[in-house]
Amino acid sequence: MAGEAIIKPLRSALFMPASNARALEKSRGLEADAYIFDLEDSVAPDAKAMARFQACDAIRYNYGRAIKVIRINGVDSPWFKDDVAVVAATRADAVLLPKTNGAGDVAHLVRALASHGADEHTKIWCMIETPLAVMRVDAIAEAHASVTCLVMGTADLAKDLRCHSGLDRTPLLYSLERVILSARAVGLDVLDGVYPSLDDQAGFEQLCHHGRMLGFDGKTLVHPSQITAANHIFSPSLMEIAQANQIIGAYKAALTDSKAIAVHNGQMIELLHVKAAERLLALGKACGLNSSQH
């Protein structure tokens, strides 16, 4: 397949409180696409120092192909400087910046990481969880070349908007779509917010389907029990993979007849459909799918 994209799945990104040593140890045998070692909301003020130490220790372990991320405390917090000093010395793949309210916050983090000698390949993920962040999301997405992913903080956003968001998420739709649009405009990944109701599997799966329909790459999670469903829902189905192969085959056949448009099952097929089909197949391959799976 010519021009196949190189894709790293982000179907599931598990938040873990870095102050919880047992949770960190258990995470090593899980199947999440990304692990976010949290120093912020899930860690009490008097446990911040311990959480830093344990996050750095956890990063040293082999998580296979999974992406390892550390969420630090915000730029205006009293813990930011110490977080950056410690995290810069780790081999984390990315730093997740909470409460990102503008390009200035990203620039501040970039300077802080550089001053502590962080690896130049360390990526920055930005949480979009305030009304101000949504309004400035274009600038955040383009703030620096190291920014590669936007992460929705839907709970904080709903709180600030004073809205009541049900499973259809109608009050949040503008914000969700606005962030996805900004991410795609500059080629960034974008992750949906968490669903904290651990005893509502049906609701969680509904929101996963909703997030995928909107265009999210995956979902942030608060418990390991959510990983399997997120991985399944944000992966291509076998039917989608079969359809993608058929679309590519029909288009190639049309090209041999010197035609730029094909017709398959009554649908017109153009190059844009082929590009989408190629990306889906690349994602399926990266997810380890074959004809006997899914």
Q: Are residues 109 and 216 in the same domain?
A: yes
* Tens-place pLDDT, residues 228-253: 999 999 999 999 999 999 999 999 98
In a domain, 100, yes or no: yes
In a domain, 182, yes or no: yes
Q: Are residues 156 and 278 in the same domain?
A: no
In a domain, 3, yes or no: no
Q: Are residues 168 and 229 in the same domain?
A: yes
In a domain, 291, yes or no: no
Q: Are residues 276 and 139 in the same domain?
A: no
Q: Are residues 51 and 175 in the same domain?
A: yes
Q: Are residues 34 and 19 in the same domain?
A: yes
- Residues in CB range of 293: below 8 A, 6 or more apart: 238
* Tens-place pLDDT, residues 95-136: 999 999 999 999 999 999 999 999 989 999 999 999 999 999
Rounded to an integer, the average pLDDT of 196-220 is 97
Q: Of 233, 249, 272, which residue sits at a domain end?
A: 233
Q: Of 191, 211, 233, which residue sits at a domain end?
A: 233
In a domain, 88, yes or no: yes
In a domain, 7, yes or no: no
Helix and strand element counts for the chain (H, E): 12, 10
In a domain, 81, yes or no: yes
Q: Are residues 207 and 247 in the same domain?
A: no
**Domain ranges, residue 257:** 238-286
Q: Of 215, 233, 251, which residue sits at a domain end?
A: 233
Question: What is the pairing mode between strands 94-97 and 123-128?
Answer: parallel
Q: What is the pLDDT of residue 290?
A: 65
Q: Are residues 141 and 258 in the same domain?
A: no
For residue 272, the tally of other CB atoms under 10 A from its CB is: 8
Is residue 211 over pLDDT 80? yes
Q: Are residues 199 and 252 in the same domain?
A: no
Question: What is the pairing mode between strands 262-264 and 67-71?
Answer: unpaired
Q: Are residues 155 and 279 in the same domain?
A: no
Q: Are residues 89 and 159 in the same domain?
A: yes
Q: CB–CB of 17/54 below 8 Å?
A: no
In a domain, 219, yes or no: yes
* Tens-place pLDDT, residues 61-95: 989 899 999 999 999 999 999 999 999 999 899 99
Find the CATH number of the domain harbouring 119.
3.20.20.60
In the chain, the number of structural domains is 2
Q: Are residues 190 and 270 in the same domain?
A: no
* Tens-place pLDDT, residues 173-205: 999 999 999 999 999 999 999 999 999 999 999
